[in-house]
Amino acid sequence: MEITKLGIKEISHLIRNKKVSTKEVVSSYLDEIHNKDSLIKAFLSVHEDEALRIAEQLDNENNKTGMLFGVPFAIKDNINVFGFETTAGSKILKGYIAPYNATVVKKIRNHGGIIIGKTNPDEFAMGSSTENSAFFPTKNPINTDYVPGGSSGGSAASVSGGFVPGSLGSDTGGSIRQPAAFCNVVGLKPTYGRVSRYGLIAFSSSLDCIGPITKNVEDAAIMLNVIAGFDENDETTAIIKIPDYTERLKDGVKNVKIGILKEIKDFDVESSVLNALNKAVSKLIDLGAEIVEVSIPHLKYALPAYYIIAPSEASANLSRFDGVRYGLEGEGFNLRDFYEDTRTKGFGREVKRRILIGTFALSEGYYDAYYMKASRVRRLIEQDFEKAFNGVDSILLPTTPTLPFKFGEKKSPLEMYMSDIFTIPVSLAGLPAISVPFGESHNGFRAGMQFIGKWFDEMRLFQYSNALFEEA
């Protein structure tokens, strides 16, 4: 039995039934990391001693309860884990030791999960390839000439490479779904407000969501069972009951209405991705689903609206990084010089670019024309989805317009931003969506299929996507 090929549910089951010890499980994964991560570079830090110590503790416990008992996890490095360096992939946070746990980390640990390392993101989660990490890019485990996607590229690569059976990422405009698609794994962006953001280093507070990356749909449902829920430390979390998200996994898609997008022909989508979409549609019809054409007329305005709203919020959120309380300390005779020096040395080019775009869009004379305009367009996009969902249970879109690209291939920022054209509209509307790998393999890569659900209807997303996943 090769432990590192198993999923969360299986591992936890084996440990509870004493077929394998937690220590054996953790050691197997650590071996895999030792052997392969010098090439893949999914991790910024691995906490081997602590992981083994906790594994031993868990092995000595008589009462082996908890949905994630004994299972190792990797956490994106923009999520605070007590006592661990937490950099968000930025030099400005180099050396910052988190003095508290994010709520999601606390919940994973309460269910017996073991955090074994922090994964490499694009700096402050701004990017689609991990090439913007201040430390190094992560390689795609399927073919190391290719990017793993981003910004949760390290988290997706850690699952795809067999270093952990599950990880946490964060998704602001596609940063869980796009890397999951590029690495042939499953990634869920929950409804905005379903999972607490407390302890996530904020990028764009009205868009940021934490979610799981796993090998299969069932494991994603199990992880959401653990991390979902109201948190008094995040006033945007919803007071809505958490169901058992695994309940309808086997219910299939018979008589389910799935929407496909009328406007998809207006976008530049690679033929391999379109073929996978068509194949997914035929498969869903075979399984008894009804396919309905839906329209999101403002879809093409989502990308420009997002690149005003997200940088605007980022410019405010990132103003806290000034060198006074933690991380990099610049030089300067007076306070103003010190701030500017710290920030200029500490932030990478893409982060500076976005701070400046956001500062511009919020500045006097431009606020109405840019930020307010974009927020009004955001309302129209939400309304489009609301109308579309009157006639369907879920909408199916490719996760990305292309299969993975190579390092250095995307030359301009705008070219890179296009990788997220199908994930960003969903984020602006706050909807949940899951990406599952599907279709023929091209150089080992399969396309990501994205099921979009109604607000707080993750249950059905798992149901529909699992039907397709099991046929893939």
The residues binding another protein (CB under 8 A) are 95-97, 99-100, 191-193, 206, 232, 235-236, 238-240, 298, 300-301, 304-305, 307-308, 315, 319, 322, 324-327, 332-341, 343-344, 347, 349, 352-353, 355-357, 359-360, 363, 370, 372-380, 382, 412-414, 429-431, 455-456
Rounded to the nearest whole angstrom, what is the least distance from the CB of residue 281 to another protein in the complex? 28
Task: Output the furthest CA–CA distance in the chain (Å, rounded).
Answer: 71
Contact 439, 276 (CB under 8 A): yes
- The residue (of 265 and 336) whose beta carbon lies closer to another protein is 336
Rounded to the nearest whole angstrom, what is the least distance from the CB of residue 197 to another protein in the complex? 12
Burial of 304 (0-12, 13-18, 19+ CB in 10 A): middle
CA–CA separation, 458 and 443 (whole Å): 32
- The residue (of 233 and 282) whose beta carbon lies closer to another protein is 233
Among 282, 287, 293, smallest CA distance to 254 is for 287
Residue 41 designated active-site? no
Sheet containing strand 72-76, strands side by side: 43-46, 114-119, 72-76, 166-171, 209-214, 186-189, 433-442, 445-452, 394-398, 257-261, 290-294
CA–CA separation, 88 and 78 (whole Å): 4
- The residue (of 302 and 468) whose beta carbon lies closer to another protein is 302
Rounded to the nearest whole angstrom, what is the least distance from the CB of residue 378 to another protein in the complex? 4
20 token code pair: 């394998």
Rounded to the nearest whole angstrom, what is the least distance from the CB of residue 336 to another protein in the complex? 8
Cis peptide, bond prior to residue 319, ω within 30 of zero = no
- In the three-class reduction of DSSP (H, G, I as helix; E, B as strand; rest coil), residue 369 is classed as helix
Contact 162, 410 (CB under 8 A): no
Spatial CB neighbours of 145, under 8 Å, sequence gap ≥ 6: 406, 407
- The residue (of 23 and 354) whose beta carbon lies closer to another protein is 354
CA–CA separation, 167 and 74 (whole Å): 5
CA–CA separation, 54 and 9 (whole Å): 19
- The residue (of 251 and 382) whose beta carbon lies closer to another protein is 382
Rounded to the nearest whole angstrom, what is the least distance from the CB of residue 203 to another protein in the complex? 16
- The residue (of 149 and 432) whose beta carbon lies closer to another protein is 432
Residue with tokens 């305009």: 373
Residue 151 designated active-site? yes
Residue 76 designated active-site? yes
Of 175, 196, 272, 419, the active-site residue reads 175
Rounded to the nearest whole angstrom, what is the least distance from the CB of residue 270 to another protein in the complex? 22
CA–CA separation, 180 and 149 (whole Å): 8
106 token code pair: 């606390």
Burial of 345 (0-12, 13-18, 19+ CB in 10 A): middle
Contact 102, 58 (CB under 8 A): no
- The residue (of 337 and 440) whose beta carbon lies closer to another protein is 337
Rounded to the nearest whole angstrom, what is the least distance from the CB of residue 79 to another protein in the complex? 17
Of 133, 151, 272, 465, the active-site residue reads 151
Q: Catalytic residue numbers? A: 76, 151, 175
